[in-house]
Structure formats: C-alpha cells, structure tokens
C-alpha cells in the first residue's frame, strides 16, 4: 500500500494550516453574507418597484374611473344644455328646477312666436287664465309685452265649458272626509248656483257656476269646482253634472238630491230629465238606475213666487211692517187663468223685482227692499263653502243655519204647494198649506229668517182664505189658526194625519231634523198625497 508523504514544511507547520482554513471559511462566510445582503437589497428594491408599479396601476385605474364618471356627468350636462338650448330657441323661456307642472305649462305658452303649436295642456292653461280674469290677462300682454294669445283666439279654442278645480286633489280630500262614515252619513246633495257676470265691454265669461257637495245627515261639505262659460244652457249644465256624477263614482257616496235656484235653465233641465217616479225626480245620467230629487232652495223659490205676484200687481201684506193691501185669491186665480200656457217654470223672473216687505229690517244689512239679493247672498256663500261662523255676524249665522235646515224639510212642501197653486189644483194646494201652518206653529220664530216666515205666512193666508179658513188672530210675531178646524177639513188626508197631532214645539223640531231618512219619508208622503 503506497504511503503518502506530506512535505515537511506542511507537516512541520500543522498548526498554522488549521488557522488558515478557518480564515478561509470565515472569508467565505463573509462573502456569503455580503451576497445575501446584496440579494436582500435587490429583493427590497424589486418589491419596492413592484409596489410602486401596483400603486401606479391602482391610481391609474382610479383616475380612469373618475374620468369616466366626470365624462358621464359632462355628457349629461351637455345633453341637458342641448335640450335647454332647443327649448330656448323654440320658446324663449324655460322653467326652474322646482317649478310646478302648472307653472311649466304656463311658461310654455309665453312665446314670441305669433302662431305657436300649442299643446292641449297649454291651451287649457291659457283658457283658464283668460277666463279667470280678462283684465289681468290683457294687463300682462300690454304691460309686460308677453306674447300671449289674444282673447279672440282663446274664445275660438273653447270647445266646451271646463269645470275648474274638480281634480284628483278634491277627490282625495273628499275620500278623507267620508272615510269611516256610515252609509247614512254619506247621504248628500249637490248644490249649485249660477252667477251672471255683467260687463260693459265684450264679455268673455258671462256666467259663473259654483258646485258644492253637502252632507244631509251631518255637517260636512266640499267645494267641487267652478264653471266659467259664455253661455249657460241645458247642454252646459248637463255636461257639468255628468262630469261630476261620473267623477264621484267609486267613492261610496249616496247622492239623493240636486238643490239649486229656479233659474230657467235649471227648471227646463229638470223637466227634460225627470223620471217616471214623478215630476220632482229625474233620472240622470239618462238610462241610469239612479234617481235624484229636484229641490229648489227656499229663498229663491218663495221670493220668485212673490215677485211674480208683484209683477202682476198682486200686493203682499207685511205682517211686521207697513200694512199693504192683500190681493184676494179670486184676483190671483184670475191672473193665472188669463195665462193659458202658464206652468211651474213660468214663475222664474228674468229680473229682480222690489218686494213690499218691511224696509226697516233690511236697512241694517244694506239690502233695503231687496230680499232677493239677501237670499242670493246667503245661498251663494253656502255654495262657495263659506259657512264658517267667524265670517258671519250672529244674526247672519242664524239665518244661514235656518236656511240649511229648511233645505231638507220644507222645500218639497213649498214646491208642491206652488205647483198645485199655479196649476189651479186648490184641494192639493190647501192640503200642503196645512203642513206649512204646522211648520210655522211649532218652529221657533227666532230661528226662521224673516223673509221665509213672511213668505210662508202670506202664501198660507192666501190659500186658506180661499177655503174659508180665517186665522184666529194676527200678531206681530206671526199668525195663528184654529187647529180644530184644520183637523176637521184635512183629517181624511193620510199625508197629514201624523203631523196635525204633534203637541209640542220640541217634538216638531226633533222630527224635522232627525235624519234624512225621515225627511225623505215625509217628502214621499207629501209627493203621494
């Protein structure tokens, strides 16, 4: 086996060899550590570079998103501006952000174009504006130089009368009012009254008609709207009532009556559409199953009757004022018999006549010798939903409340009495007159407007004088009759058997105001008497 001999030098310096190896290893380790540090530094730099790149990418993405959003907003603004520019070029004006639909519609009719293409909505707004106030409409044109359509153009566009205010808001309010009511409490009547608008200039609106819905069993009412029209005819009234009745469908209302004054149009309308149940009812809309009572309000009805007497020189006696000769029934019947074509509709007077009532009563209200004006003022305020106590004096409020209570109870009596009196059916007229006496005997005089009391007393005295029944005596606060004689003459008439036996004043008032069912029951008995 061969032997390896190391050099002597190495063998002799063994210790020094070991030290050299350790130094080499240490150097190598230092080199490795330095390399690792360099690697770590490079890795750190790489990581930093990667993070920077990622951050830059994220920032770039966010910037792109922001730019995209800004671009979308700018495009939307450009589109809005283009729309406004188009509108400006076409109309010369545009609405603000919070403008209502009505103001936008009004703004769009203000234009410099002499023949603009108006939309139906714009036409409607222009007509309403012009109809509500012709003076203000022309003032806007003359003073502010706004190129609104001329009044002649507006008139040419008007195809049918428009019921102003009868919209979804009114129906929603009505729904809130009647919510939770019983069927009886929802029983109501439509009241309407026309007002003739006079003007020396060329009239655009000659009539204004207000419509109100009123509860008959409890105190609720709501103004439905106004009709502004140049002519007031049966077709106009038909269209408005049809619009109201159709519009109120689905609200669970029980509309039983129409209440108005004895305007010629109203009377002719009732005559045209009266139903098969009698002359005081009508079927409307035509071919419908619903029937409505036709009632005329007391002030207009009685005053028109008295005015008709006065127009034919039939003077009325004032119980509370100056004594005026009372026309005899023979003279009245002679006047009626001389007019062969006379019927109930001819009672309506075309012009207001001064009546011979006590003037002292009306002086305090600035209605001297004009009870018709007084009656119309009360009824118009009622129709316009202004029966709040704070706008009436105490005396006025008593008159208004009494008029309202009289609507349901006494109107059918006076209406039938008038019709039968005019038609010369004396027996029926006198039977109804007994009920008028019954009413006057038991209702507090202080709660009856003087005009109504005076009218009923006058008519009753004329009718009973014809049958030979004289009053026991006349006093300043009314007239009294012998009820024994009245019972003797009308005891066999079933319509009044339950009425003439009422003993107390309070019992009468309770029966008159208890409910609409009882009122209509009495009306039915009176109709069928």
3 state SS for 214-251: EECCCCCEEEEEEEEECCCCHHHHHHHHHHHHHHCCCC
Evaluate whether residue 304 is within a structural domain: no
Mean pLDDT over all residues of the chain? 56
Instruction: Indicate the pLDDT class of residue 239, thresholds 50, 70 and 90.
Output: confident
Q: By the 8 A CB rule, do 524 and 472 touch?
A: no
**Are residues 49 and 195 located together in one domain of the fold?**
no
**Are residues 485 and 393 located together in one domain of the fold?**
yes
**Are residues 143 and 241 located together in one domain of the fold?**
no
Evaluate whether residue 403 is within a structural domain: yes
**Are residues 248 and 315 located together in one domain of the fold?**
no
Six-digit token pair at 2? 């061969």
Picking from 138, 133, 107, the residue whose alpha carbon sits closest to that of residue 122 is: 107
5 contact partners, CB below 8 Å, separation of at least 6? none
Picking from 233, 242, 305, the residue whose alpha carbon sits closest to that of residue 266 is: 233
pLDDT cut 90: percent of the chain above it: 0
Q: DSSP letter for 391, please.
A: G
Q: By the 8 A CB rule, do 408 and 293 touch?
A: no
Q: Looking at residue 144, what is its pLDDT?
A: 65
Evaluate whether residue 180 is within a structural domain: yes
Rounded CA separation 213/187 (Å):
10
H-run or E-run covering 80: helix 14-91
pTM for this model (two decimals):
0.39
- The better pLDDT of the pair 524, 124 is held by 124
Q: By the 8 A CB rule, do 253 and 221 touch?
A: no
Evaluate whether residue 258 is within a structural domain: yes
**Are residues 359 and 503 located together in one domain of the fold?**
yes
Neighbour count for residue 75 (Cβ, 10 Å)? 10
**Are residues 410 and 493 located together in one domain of the fold?**
yes
What digits encode the pLDDT tens for the residues 392-451? 344 444 444 444 444 334 444 444 444 444 444 444 444 444 444 434 333 333 333 333
H-run or E-run covering 480: strand 478-480
Evaluate whether residue 2 is within a structural domain: no
Range of the domain at 487: 309-527
**Are residues 111 and 85 located together in one domain of the fold?**
no
Evaluate whether residue 270 is within a structural domain: yes
28 contact partners, CB below 8 Å, separation of at least 6? none
Environment class of 153 (CB within 10 Å of its CB; exposed 0-12, middle 13-18, buried 19+): middle
Question: Which residue, of 247, 266, 296, is where some domain finishes?
Answer: 296
Chain centroid to CA 83: how far?
38
What Cα–Cα distance (Å) separates residue 23 from each residue in 18, 231, 319?
A: 9, 127, 150
231 CB-side CA count, 13 A:
9
**Are residues 430 and 447 located together in one domain of the fold?**
yes
Q: Looking at residue 340, what is its pLDDT?
A: 32
Instruction: Indicate the pLDDT class of residue 99, thresholds 50, 70 and 90.
Output: low
Q: Looking at residue 250, what is its pLDDT?
A: 81
**Are residues 416 and 325 located together in one domain of the fold?**
yes
Ramachandran angles phi, psi of 524, nearest 5°: -60, -45
């Amino acid at each position: 086996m061969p032997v390896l001999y190391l050099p002597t030098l190495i063998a002799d310096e063994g210790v020094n060899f070991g030290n050299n190896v350790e130094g080499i290893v240490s150097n190598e380790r230092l080199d490795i550590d330095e390399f690792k540090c360099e690697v770590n530094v490079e890795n750190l730099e790489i990581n930093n570079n990667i993070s920077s790149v990622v951050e830059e990418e994220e920032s770039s993405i966010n910037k792109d998103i922001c730019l995209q959003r800004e671009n979308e907003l700018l495009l939307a603004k450009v589109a809005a501006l283009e729309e406004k520019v188009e509108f400006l070029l076409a109309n010369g004006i545009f609405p603000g952000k919070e403008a209502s639909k009505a103001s936008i519609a009004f703004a769009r009719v203000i234009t410099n174009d002499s023949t603009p293409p108006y939309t139906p909505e714009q036409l409607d707004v222009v007509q309403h504006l012009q109809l509500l106030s012709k003076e203000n409409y022309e003032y806007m044109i003359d003073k502010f130089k706004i190129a609104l359509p001329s009044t002649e153009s507006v008139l040419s566009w008007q195809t049918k009368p428009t019921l102003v205010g009868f919209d979804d808001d009114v129906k929603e309010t009505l729904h809130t009012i009647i919510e939770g009511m019983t069927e009886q409490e929802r029983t109501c009547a439509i009241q309407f009254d026309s007002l003739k608008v006079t003007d020396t200039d060329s009239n655009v609106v000659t009539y204004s008609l207000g419509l109100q819905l009123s509860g008959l069993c409890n105190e609720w009412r709501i103004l439905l709207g106004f009709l502004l029209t140049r002519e007031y005819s049966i077709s106009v009234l038909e269209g408005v009532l049809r619009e109201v009745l159709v519009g109120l469908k689905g609200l669970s209302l029980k509309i039983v009556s129409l209440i108005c004054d004895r305007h010629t149009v109203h009377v002719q309308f009732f005559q045209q559409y009266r139903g098969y149940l009698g002359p005081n009812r009508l079927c409307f809309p035509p071919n419908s199953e619903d029937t409505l009572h036709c009632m005329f309000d007391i002030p207009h009805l009685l005053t028109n009757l008295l005015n008709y007497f006065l127009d034919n020189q039939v003077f009325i006696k004032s119980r509370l004022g100056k004594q005026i000769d009372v026309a005899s029934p023979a003279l009245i019947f002679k006047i009626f018999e001389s007019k062969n074509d006379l019927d109930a509709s001819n009672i309506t007077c075309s012009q207001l006549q001064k009546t011979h009532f006590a003037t002292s009563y009306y002086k305090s209200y600035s209605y001297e010798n004009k009870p018709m004006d007084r009656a119309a003022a009360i009824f118009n305020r009622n129709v316009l939903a202004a029966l709040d106590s704070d706008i009436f004096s105490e005396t006025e409020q008593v008159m208004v409340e009494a008029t309202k209570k009289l609507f349901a109870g006494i109107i059918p009596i006076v209406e039938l009495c008038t019709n039968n009196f005019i038609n010369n059916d004396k027996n029926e007229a006198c039977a109804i007159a007994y009920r008028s006496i019954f009413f006057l005997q038991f209702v507090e005089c202080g709660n009856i407007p003087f005009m109504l009391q005076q009218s009923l007393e006058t008519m009753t005295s004329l009718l009973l004088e014809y049958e030979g029944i004289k009053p026991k005596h006349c006093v300043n606060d009314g007239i009294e009759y012998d009820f024994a004689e009245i019972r003797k003459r009308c005891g066999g008439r079933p319509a009044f058997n339950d009425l003439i036996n009422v003993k107390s004043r309070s019992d009468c008032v309770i029966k008159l105001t208890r409910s609409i069912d009882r009122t209509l029951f009495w009306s039915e008995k009176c109709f069928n008497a």
